Amino acid sequence: MKQSRYFAVVYMFVLTAVLSSMLIGLERLTRRQVKTNEQIAFERAVLAVFPQIEIKSAAEIHPVFTRDFVLSDSGAYEYRPSGQLAGYVLPFEGPGFWAPIKGVVGIGMDQKTMTGIRFYEQAETPGLGARIVEPFFYEQFAEKSLTEGSRPVRIRPPSEAGGNDISAITGATQTCVRLEKLLNEAVVQWRVKLQEQGK
Amino acid sequence: MNGQTVTKPAKQIILDGLWYDNAIFRQILGICSTLAVTNNVLNTLVMCISLSLVTALSGMTVSALRNWTPRSVRMMVQTLIIAFFVIIVDILLRAYWPEMSRNLGPYVGLIITNCIVMGRCEAFAGTNRPWPSFLDGLFSGLGYSVVLLAIAAFRELLGMGTILGFAMPYFSTHWDKWIIMVMPPGGFFVLAMVLWLCRSVEIKRKS
Amino acid sequence: MPTAGNFSSEIWLAVVTCFAAVFTQNILLSYFLGMCSFVSVSKEVKTAAGLGLAVVVVITATSILNWMAYWWVLVPLGLEFYRFILFIIIIAAFVQLLEMVIDRYSPALYLALGIFLPLITVNCAVLGSVLWMVIRNYSFVVSVGFGLGSGLGWMMAIVAMAGIRQRLDESKIPAGLRGPGITLIIAGIMALAFIGFTGVLQ
């Protein structure tokens, strides 16, 4: 063990190199899978906001998405089944209570009525904030309209929620407050862009 | 130190890991990385399996390399090996179970600083053959998992009325859900109760 | 790289994030990070304050270093998955360096902080807050605020706990609950109290 100091350095170097190259190899192998997962989650959410779209198997998602949806300059996707404009899908994202919340909201031809909403990425508290992905919550958005002004969507406590309001989830006030904020920001921004383009 | 092997029968290794040296209620070690996800049994289960596998495999690797590893860089080598296995778990989860990977957030990565993993590598794997080190790591991890799963089952049942997401009779219908159980204070309280119970049993047994 | 707004709004966001990390999302009381040393080193206020201070310094500094390492090195190279190893190396190296510097220039400070430094490398609060910072895509200024807040929040929790535990010394506590058990119950009550801060920030 005379050259132990050099040996230690070489040893660390070799070990690090061997382990790192194994990791890089594994990551490269799975990278495409990760990308596909993200893309499919997003596309699945987009298709789900229009109740009229029926998807029979997961294999259909990507073809239907690429056929019927076009990204427009306003930041929203235009839903064009058979070429005719039939609605918009506005993606939104922002900080939730724990980690970012990402989702898409479907908006009808009138640019006012929501057709549905889905969240494809979130990590809110299980049993509380994470319930935004449950039907009882997201189904409320369908058919509600986006009001004028800076607060097009209102998420309010169930006891105070009016006809056009969304009932918040009890115990998940923070998630709901943040969700409302980031959703409204996205809608307001979209409106500004639409106006600029004179649509 | 190098080359010496302490022989300990497999049965003893298993019992030590599960009860006599149980990391949680004996040593209060390594709770940080998992306690936060114990409001949901499934998340806890995945965390516990990951932790047990990482502990076992890093123990085995550290042990296999023990005769070549210079003492001066021992800790660095251990950290490197542990991080290696944690990253593998992270990559696999991200590729094949993206939702779980998001639910666990930073907690998978925090297995690296979990005192149990490092503790077993240092205390056991450094002086034992690979196979016993593997067993030791696995059962230390399992001893830890049993406690955390008990906590998680309790929290999910009382807080949401479900276990593993399945609605439980009575709890999902007539039970007034204790939201506090799903929130952080619930984790502290339930862990304290588990500690109290296990330690009381131990005190009884000794006297 | 996380996009930054204009400077003053960034600063404001950093202040808010810092405040949130101390009160509404305390790294220990809501994320359970740094529990091991929290349970074992909270017996005396003076020691707890020393460790707490060391944690504040280390988290803030390593947030800066790790932010740069992640967004300037790992992301351009497409090696994000490598962050665990890099972060832990940076934290360990920084702690080592800090220990040497303090030892050299301020023996008094070394006596106060030095003994805690080795404990910090394996404190999950440090790695945890760095990982949160990356997951949440904080911009640089906000990351600094978040790091500082996490450290301060952790320090506040451990000092408060030590103060309470000193008072408990003479209380009659069931044998099985003594030590860690009662500490966790108190931590639970503190966490409950901190939930009261939720909603302060909108």
What pLDDT, on the 0 to 100 scale, is given for residue B1?
A: 37
What's the rounded mean pLDDT across residues A95-114? 88
Residue A34 is nearest to which of B70, B84, B94, comparing CB atoms?
B94
What pLDDT, on the 0 to 100 scale, is given for residue C163?
A: 93
What pLDDT, on the 0 to 100 scale, is given for residue A63?
A: 86
What pLDDT, on the 0 to 100 scale, is given for residue C123?
A: 82
Number of alpha carbons in the 13 Å side-chain half-sphere of residue A106: 29
The predicted-structure confidence for B155-200, as pLDDT tens digits, reads as follows: 999 988 888 888 888 887 888 888 888 888 999 999 999 888 888 8
Residue C50 predicted with pLDDT over 90? no
Residue B126 predicted with pLDDT over 70? yes
What pLDDT, on the 0 to 100 scale, is given for residue A2?
A: 47
Q: With the CA atoms of B85, B87, B88 and B90 taken in that order, what torsion angle do they form, in degrees rounded to the nearest 10?
A: 130
- CA-to-CA separations, A82 to A65, A67, A93, B121, C1, in angstroms, rounded: 12, 9, 29, 62, 38
- Distance between first and last Cα of chain A: 78
pLDDT higher at B103 or A58: B103
Q: Which chains neighbour C (Cβ–Cβ under 8 Å, 3 or more pairs)?
A: A, B
Give how far C195 is from chain A: nearest CA, Å. Answer: 11
Give how far B135 is from chain A: nearest CA, Å. Answer: 23
DSSP 8-class letter at A85: -
CB-based burial of residue B166 (10 Å sphere; 0-12 exposed, 13-18 middle, 19+ buried)? Answer: exposed
Instruction: Specify the residue for token string 């807080």.
Output: B159
- CA-to-CA separations, B33 to B108, C34, C54, C168, in angstroms, rounded: 8, 9, 21, 28
All structural domains of chain B with their residue ranges: 10-206
**Residue C81 with chain A: CB contacts under 8 Å:** 23, 27
Residue C175 predicted with pLDDT over 80? yes
**Which of A81-90, A179-188, B21-30, B44-53 is predicted with the least confidence, judged by mean pLDDT?**
B21-30
What pLDDT, on the 0 to 100 scale, is given for residue B155?
A: 92
Residue of B nearest to C190 (CA): B185
The predicted-structure confidence for C80-102, as pLDDT tens digits, reads as follows: 888 999 999 899 899 988 888 88
The predicted-structure confidence for C6-19, as pLDDT tens digits, reads as follows: 778 888 888 988 98
**Which of A55-59, A120-124, C38-42 is predicted with the least confidence, judged by mean pLDDT?**
A55-59
Residue A106 phi/psi, 5° resolution?
-90, 135
What's the rounded mean pLDDT across residues B105-131? 87
What's the rounded mean pLDDT across residues B30-43? 84
What pLDDT, on the 0 to 100 scale, is given for residue B4?
A: 45
* Helix, strand, coil content of chain C in percent (nearest 5): 75, 0, 25
pLDDT higher at B52 or A85: B52
Mean pLDDT of chain C: 87
Q: Vertex A137, ends A133 and A138: CA angle to 5°?
A: 65
**Residue C85 with chain A: CB contacts under 8 Å:** 20
Residue of B nearest to C191 (CA): B185
What pLDDT, on the 0 to 100 scale, is given for residue C199?
A: 67
Cα–Cα distance measured from residue C24 to residue C194, given in angstroms and rounded to the nearest whole number: 7
What's the rounded mean pLDDT across residues A149-174? 85
The predicted-structure confidence for A47-86, as pLDDT tens digits, reads as follows: 888 888 887 777 888 888 888 888 888 888 988 888 788 8
Residue A99 is nearest to which of C82, C85, C136, comparing CB atoms?
C136
Residue C36 is nearest to which of B29, B197, B202, comparing CB atoms?
B29
Q: Would you say A90 and A75 are in contact if contact means Cβ atoms under 8 Å apart?
A: yes
* pLDDT tier, C148 (very low <50, low <70, confident <90, very high otherwise): very high
Q: Is B80–C85 a contact, with Cβ atoms under 8 angstroms apart?
A: yes
The predicted-structure confidence for B67-86, as pLDDT tens digits, reads as follows: 888 888 888 899 899 999 99
Residue A95 is nearest to which of C79, C81, C136, comparing CB atoms?
C136
Q: Give the largest CA-CA distance in chain A.
A: 82
Mean pLDDT of chain B: 85
Cα–Cα distance measured from residue A144 to residue A112, given in angstroms and rounded to the nearest whole number: 8
What pLDDT, on the 0 to 100 scale, is given for residue C202?
A: 47
* pLDDT tier, C69 (very low <50, low <70, confident <90, very high otherwise): very high
**Residue B103 with chain A: CB contacts under 8 Å:** 123, 126
Cα–Cα distance measured from residue B167 to residue B159, given in angstroms and rounded to the nearest whole number: 12
What pLDDT, on the 0 to 100 scale, is given for residue B3?
A: 41
- Residues of B contacting chain C (CB within 8 angstroms): 28-33, 35-36, 79-80, 83-84, 86-87, 90-91, 94, 105-106, 109-110, 112-115, 118, 180, 183-189, 191-192, 195-200, 202-203
Q: Give the largest CA-CA distance in chain B.
A: 62
| One-letter-per-residue 3-state SS of C66-131 | HHHHHHHHHHHHCCHHHHHHHHHHHHHHHHHHHHHHHHHHCHHHHHHHHHHHHHHHCCHHHHHHHH
Give how far C66 is from chain B: nearest CA, Å. Answer: 15
Interface test mutation site (partner B, options A2, A15, A21, max chain B beta carbons within 10 A): A15
Q: Would you say B191 and B172 are in contact if contact means Cβ atoms under 8 Å apart?
A: no
